[in-house]
Amino acid sequence: HTNERVIRSYMKFDEFSKLLLTDSQPQFLYCYRNCIINMDKITAVDHRDFVVQTGEKIPISRIDTQAIKQQYVDYRFNKFKS
């Protein structure tokens, strides 16, 4: 999803995710099965979901909830610090 539209990819998710989940793209986070979120678009975090600017809720994996939320907090802190 972008601000303007949904872009569909026919590339395998594991190949596509390698393009986004890099040190040069620190704002992207794998948060749920086959779901990567741009942390710059998150406006709120509730118990089980990230809420993005559009109001859409993106689920957070139950297995890794604490680690995923901590990665988001660390990202926001480092961004604030910069």
Give me the amino acid identity at 6.
V
- Residue 1 has a pLDDT of 77
Q: Is the pLDDT of residue 9 over 90?
A: no
CA atoms of 80 and 12, how far apart (whole Å): 34
CA atoms of 44 and 28, how far apart (whole Å): 16
pLDDT digits (tens, 9 = 90+) for 33-73: 999 999 999 999 999 999 999 899 999 999 999 999 999 99
